[in-house]
Amino acid sequence: MYPENTLTAFKKAAEIDGLTGIELDIQLTKDGHLVVFHDETIDRTTDGGGELRQYTLSELKKLRIDAGGGKQEKIPAMEEVFDMLQGKMKQGLKMNIELKNSVFPYEGMEQKIIDMVHQYGLQNNVIYSSFSALSLERIRQLDSEAEIGILDTKVSDCLYKLKGGCGADALHPFWKGMNLPKEKLCGYPVRAWLTGHLYPERPTGTKLDLTFLEKQGITDVFLNEPERYLEGLRYGST
């Protein structure tokens, strides 16, 4: 396993045979740069502290992410990820970009990421997601053909937001939040997110029950241990 939202993690994930896509999270720096990072604060995964939005890009680049064995990673700018993966993406690899703006509504984030995706010519390979229905409305206004997934803990809440006009065309609930029968999901793709082990935790080796997930109406999954899912596909789930 590798530290989350790092270039090494993305590179290794993209090399996994059978993997269809990767997921990452974006936020805005104090000086308006898109960076790839999950938490609103930097304390958990770096040697720094405080809110990410209070740092400039150059300041964030001075921080270290422990990658084990004396190795270190840095917080990547979104451009760095596209530079590394655009070849794979143009061969079919999908990228789900979660806009982390439900806690802090980063002004202009939607325009920045839309412009960057189009600049790299990757608009057919990107899925945008967010817990913020308003943010996804902006994405839809900026790009009428964008692929969009609405995030929430329960699938019923995803569907509620979608029907409210957020512009999404897929549901992205927590996998334990499938509180509606499959026939009530209106045929939407359901890409469920699973909790899992994060570096430096050790994987348990537990396989996914794919049959159970399919019966719930889940069509795809986001998880930290993709090998578990692919192993289940090849050899059957337990």
Count Cβ neighbours within 10 Å for each residue of 176-190 and write b for 16 or more, e otherwise.
Answer: ebbebeeeebeebbb
pLDDT of residue 236 exceeding 80: no
pLDDT of residue 237 exceeding 70: no
Question: What is the model's pLDDT at position 151?
Answer: 98
- What spatial distance separates the first Cα and last Cα of the chain, rounded to whole Å? 22
CA 70 to centroid of chain Cα atoms:
27
Question: What is the model's pLDDT at position 81?
Answer: 98
pLDDT of residue 234 exceeding 50: yes
Q: Which domains are seen in the chain, by residue range? A: 7-235 (3.20.20.190)
Kindly report the average pLDDT of the chain as a whole number.
91
Phi, psi of 228 (to 5 degrees): -65, -45
Indicate the pTM of the whole model.
0.92
Euclidean distance between CA atoms 227 and 186, whole angstroms = 30
CB contact at 8 A, 74 and 61:
yes
- Count of CB atoms within 10 A of residue 145's CB? 7
Q: Give the pLDDT mean for 106-124.
A: 98
20-74 residue pLDDT tens: 999 999 999 999 999 999 999 999 999 999 999 999 999 999 999 998 888 999 9
Question: What is the model's pLDDT at position 224?
Answer: 80
Question: What is the model's pLDDT at position 238?
Answer: 38
Euclidean distance between CA atoms 29 and 59, whole angstroms = 10
Q: In the chain, what percentage of residues exceed pLDDT 90?
A: 77
